[in-house]
Structure 1
Amino acid sequence: MPRSAVIKLHDKLMATPGAADNLLKAISALYKWGIQREHVDCDNPTRDVKRNRKQTGGFEPWTADDIATFLAFHKPGTMARRALILAMSTTARRGDLCRLGRQNEFTRDGRVWLRWKQDKAPHGTVEMPMPTGLIDELHASSNMTYILNGYGAPFTVAGLGNKFREWAEAAGLKGRSLHGVRKGLSAILTSGGASSGEIDVLLGHEMGSSETRIYIRSAERALLAEQVVDRLDKIIPGTAK
């Protein structure tokens, strides 16, 4: 396939930039596979074809202050508060949060646990003890599914994401998402000394995952930055008397 043909296909999808870029990714992956196995002897035709979407830093991670602000605004008994506490307690993805409920509870050694099968890869079975704060939050609810929409039915995946952003904005937290809770909590716990193994278990990752190592390295860099600035404070003259 000549590069000009790839560009034409890409241009046809300009009305949907994400789909256009996904097409480039698919063609690139196909040619990479074929070139490695010597099915074709040409260059990858997607090379140097400009993509539409800019790379971003991803979802804005929540901070400890964000969490405190949200919980101060959304009082006990509200669905918004329950959703955040459930997200913090399980770090489950939206597809799993929508389905979690009483049917996922079981008791082990006198403690209440949750067990669920991940909706996304690696599709593993996750088991987590329920924190006391979550048990207290769910105590007054008799619903089978923990989080319900305004019609008393379980949320869809997209519906929960949209509603959670509304709840965050109502608390003065613009641009915050459910995935940001998962991302931010991992960073908060890592900064507090949580090990990579603990974070892997919390996030439902394979042990020793590359994503968790990123959180660990980030926390280590932050700690080293504080330490080196403390050293600078000792050698740079200050103006305070």
Structure 2
Amino acid sequence: MPRPATGLNTVSRRRPDGTVEFTWYHRKSGLLIGKSRDGWTKEAALERAASMDAEEVKAGPPSGSFGELCAFYLSDPRFVRKAEKTKRDYRKHIELMRGMWEAIPVTGITRKVVRALHAQYQDRPWQGNALLRTLRLLMNFGIHDLEMPGLTKNPADRPSLYETRARDQIWDQHRIDAFMEAARDYPALRRAFALLLYTVQRPSDVLTMARPMVFERDGRIWIRLRQAKTGALVDVPCHERLSAELVAPNSGGTMLLVSSPRGKPWSYRNFARAWDRVRRLANWRLARAAIVARGGLPPRSRPKEREAAKKHVRAQMLADLQRRDLRRTGMVQLAIAGATTPQIAALSGHSIDQAQKILDTYLPRRGEVALGGIEKWEDGGDRVVVLAKKRR
């Protein structure tokens, strides 16, 4: 017997700690109702969905309201031209704020209100900062583009953002080899890993790469793509290890370089799940090798020694290395190999300034850079530097 239809769409996600997180959407409109981590229950979400179904269709949000500002922004050509992922993130933030402030006049959203919203995200600083940036963008649009009456100052301008540390994780060769070995029976994931590392492109762009983008020039395989986020057209010369993965037969006869097991475009969510399965296998193998190398774990009768041994074993695993860290890893490896900033920027699609900022952030932590400099110094021999005399 089919279940009765409700006005609620429930999405569940299992967190690394084993707990399940629920997000509820209004089925008819697709609007976000609430999340379990924010205190919402299914009963409250059902009640809200029922009230939304019962509401009469309105001509639109009230004039001068926050909802009107959002509606104008979402239909603005500059928003429509943004990359799909960027639009998806902005819509998520805007829907959340519209749920709170839909009919409130924009002039009623004060700095105090903004601070109160930001304070709710102390345990999720990244999301709190992203929400505040979207609000600042909306308010600037209302001030400068719409010139909404009474809106002269941006309450989200110059906010006190949470301090968040930039990710500095880099894949080393040992862990790269461990993942590729674990993915031996998953050729699509091996190819995806190689594309992420050696093309230094975003995962979303890698999943859309297809055979027509691949061509050969002067004996080397190249990939020509247009980045979804920036719109930049990039010609990527393939590393020899990537070329070896590309010439391997592709299952399913699909034109995509990385496809789902059925030979169809891989949704990012399902791709992430398949990636995590291989990651768990790689971690299990690394942990087993580390335990064997130690001669086993201390007995449970010595809990402190056992926990110290486990800590050492966990340090050999992939830890919190992520797919997105491969792009940064590739850029760092290029710099260590002697590539210039313009060369790296031409490959990654960043501007030269952006590429330099990335290298300024991550290269100082890499001892290989200092070692390479010393080795070049040693190869050059001792030379006397003659300083020019000052003119009088």
Q: How does 1:53-68 map to 2 (within 5 A)?
A: 55-58=164-167, 60-68=169-177
Residue 296 of structure 2: aligned partner: none
The whole-number CA distance in structure 2 between the counterparts of 1:88 and 1:9 is 38
Q: Partner of 1:126: helix, strand, or coil? A: strand
Residue 270 of structure 2: aligned partner: 159
Higher mean C-alpha displacement, 79-88 vs 108-117: 108-117
Residue 210 of structure 1: aligned partner: 354
Alpha-carbon shift at residue 93 of structure 1 (Å): 0.9
Does residue 113 of the first structure (1) align with residue 222 of the second (2)? yes
- The Cα offsets for residues 195-235 of structure 1, whole Å up to 9 and x where unpaired, read as 212211221222x22333431564356458669xxxxxxxx
Does residue 145 of the first structure (1) align with residue 290 of the second (2)? no
- The Cα offsets for residues 84-119 of structure 1, whole Å up to 9 and x where unpaired, read as 112222122111111112111223344432111111
The whole-number CA distance in structure 2 between the counterparts of 1:17 and 1:221 is 25
The answer for unaligned runs of 5 or more in structure 1 is 228-241
Does residue 2 of the first structure (1) align with residue 146 of the second (2)? no
Q: Partner of 1:150: helix, strand, or coil? A: coil
Residue 59 of structure 2: aligned partner: none
Residue 202 of structure 2: aligned partner: 93
Q: Partner of 2:130: helix, strand, or coil? A: helix
Q: Partner of 1:56: helix, strand, or coil? A: coil
Q: Partner of 1:26: helix, strand, or coil? A: helix
TM-score normalised per structure 2: 0.47
Q: Give the letter aligned to residue 66 of structure 1.
A: R
The whole-number CA distance in structure 2 between the counterparts of 1:196 and 1:70 is 29
Paired positions, count: 223
Q: Partner of 1:189: helix, strand, or coil? A: helix
Residue 132 of structure 1: aligned partner: 240
Alpha-carbon contact 2:136-2:156 (below 8 Å) kept: yes
Q: Partner of 1:171: helix, strand, or coil? A: helix
Q: How does 1:31-42 map to 2 (within 5 A)?
A: none
Aligned residues: percent identity?
Answer: 23
Alpha-carbon contact 1:164-1:177 (below 8 Å) kept: no
Q: Give the letter aligned to residue 338 of structure 2.
A: G
Structure 1 residues 129 and 6: alpha-carbon distance in aligned structure 2, compared to 1, 3 A threshold: closer
Alpha-carbon contact 1:28-1:46 (below 8 Å) kept: yes
The whole-number CA distance in structure 2 between the counterparts of 1:226 and 1:107 is 36
The whole-number CA distance in structure 2 between the counterparts of 1:212 and 1:48 is 26
TM-score normalised per structure 1: 0.72
Q: Partner of 2:324: helix, strand, or coil? A: helix
Structure 1 residues 129 and 23: alpha-carbon distance in aligned structure 2, compared to 1, 3 A threshold: closer
Alpha-carbon contact 1:24-1:46 (below 8 Å) kept: yes
The whole-number CA distance in structure 2 between the counterparts of 1:32 and 1:77 is 48
The answer for unaligned runs of 5 or more in structure 2 is 1-108, 145-149, 284-317, 373-392
- Ranked by relative contact order (alpha carbons within 8 Å, sequence separation 6 or more), the top structure is 1
The whole-number CA distance in structure 1 between the counterparts of 2:120 and 2:321 is 33
Q: Give the letter aligned to residue 182 of structure 1.
A: R
The whole-number CA distance in structure 1 between the counterparts of 2:158 and 2:168 is 27
